[in-house]
Structure 1
Amino acid sequence: MNPKISDFGMARSFGGNETEATTRRVVGTYGYMSPEYAIDGLFSIKSDVFSFGVLVLEIVSGKRNWGFTHPKHELNLLGHVWKLYKEGRSLELIDELKVESCYVPKVLRSIHVGLLCVQHSPEHRPSMSTVVLMLEGNGLLPQPNEPGFFTERKLIEENMKDPSSTNEVTITVLDGR
């Protein structure tokens, strides 16, 4: 329950009135980077919203996004949360030992807001000021779209039938320091 994150504040590297920028080198913590930044090096004020959403979902679930595993499927944490949400089973995200001690409506709202923050498209993510209002309020929330980096590892592995080389050629070069 102690997520560690080091790439919040990337939006601070904006100049003046900029709301978007392109970088030449992607830096940050995998699992927290927004899709547009990790893939294309594009970041905006919505990149930090994505990272915040991942953090919210980690806190609620007590699980880390990076390296998440589940015995019944090969989805990452964002995919797992999305699956539970779409099936109306968001409460299953909360650790059984903590369900009784939490205020369920606020936790469900936090999950919903977390999903709004991790939507694939930056245009669909709320601003941080809107996120704060959503978390504090009781009003209706918009329906989230599928999160960015919603992946199932098994599907990727099956498409790579034999990723290793079998040409049985080896090269050994000994080189002294």
Structure 2
Amino acid sequence: MLNIKRQPSSAQSNSSIKSLILMIGLSGFHLAMADDKANQASIPALPKYQQECAACHIAYPAGMLPAASWKRLMNNLPNHFGTDASLDAASVQQISQWLQQYGGTYKRVTTDAPQDRITKSAWFVRKHDEVSAQTWKLAAVKSPSNCMACHQQANLGDFNEQHVRIPR
């Protein structure tokens, strides 16, 4: 009996290669997300940061901006995006030191964000490129800086896509 091994067609071979590439890519994505989550989990909470910053908006994770951006923001609190967010000197020093230590700890934060805005950073724009201009204008959203509108656990530092609910 003659045993002939059939070679896979080029379509089958291409499909297998594409599947393998997709699996490797997804594995890399999940590892990067896990690294960010591990970085975030290893950053000790700073109650003063939570108290002062979360009084007006969510206390954005320090890793979302590089240390240089945080330094500029902390040095200009009287003009914090059109609002006077001035704090006493001791609070400024404590929060600034913490932000300098933990700023830019996410792998995706490699360069300063334009105007020191998280929502203008390259990674933010890339991650939200499918969000329409109309969505940002919804009454429940109002602006890209309102993370809680869609990321239901943003106040806990959890921006996992599994917890995203875009308002209608």
Fold agreement, TM-score > 0.5: no
Q: Which has the higher helix share?
A: 2
TM-score by length of 2: 0.30
TM-score by length of 1: 0.29
